[in-house]
Amino acid sequence: MLRIGMGYDVHKLVEERKLILGGVEIPHTLGLLGHSDADVLVHAIMDGLLGAIAGGDIGKHFPDTDPKYKGISSIKLLEHVKGLLHKEGAVIHNIDATIIAQKPKMAPHIMTMRENIASALQINIDQINVKATTEEGLGFTGTEQGIASQAIVLLDK
């Protein structure tokens, strides 16, 4: 049976944190605040995958009150979600994700993000699309207060 899942995540931009998106450390003066590495792209993808199998959300599986997840790579968490999909007999058809950020430019990093996600999920890179957009200076992403990401996934369960 085909199943669709949608994920969304947002984190605040702050000083003295690394900016990690899609498992890529992107040079920038600000980074995302969070319990893990705060990778909003991977978080949105994980929530979409969990939603498609009716598996709750990342807060259920990786609570920010658990010290073992402090500073953890979200790619590692994505690998764990891959295991949950396997247990459910779910096969990913495709993932389409969008990063919403005013700065920095994402285009130079998107291929590596796709490679990292494909590797973690053990799927082909052509099953993953990552794109980026700005909000033309509007809203919290436009004023560089945070970065958001959305993802939609299609899988067979």
Beta-bridge partner residues of 100: 133, 148
103 is in an annotated binding site: yes
12 is in an annotated binding site: no
79 is in an annotated binding site: no
65 is in an annotated binding site: yes
58 is in an annotated binding site: yes
- State the burial class of residue 22 (Cβ atoms within 10 Å of its Cβ: 0-12, 13-18, 19+): buried
The amino acid that residue 117 corresponds to is: I
Give the Cβ contact number of residue 16 at 10 Å: 7
102 is in an annotated binding site: yes
What crossing angle do the helices spanning 74-87 and 110-121 adopt, rounded to 10°? Answer: 40
130 is in an annotated binding site: no
11 is in an annotated binding site: yes
18 is in an annotated binding site: no
143 is in an annotated binding site: no
54 is in an annotated binding site: no
133 is in an annotated binding site: yes
9 is in an annotated binding site: yes
66 is in an annotated binding site: yes
136 is in an annotated binding site: yes
126 is in an annotated binding site: no
Annotated binding site for a divalent metal cation: 9, 11, 43
Annotated binding site: 9-11, 35-36, 43, 57-59, 62-66, 101-107, 133-136, 140
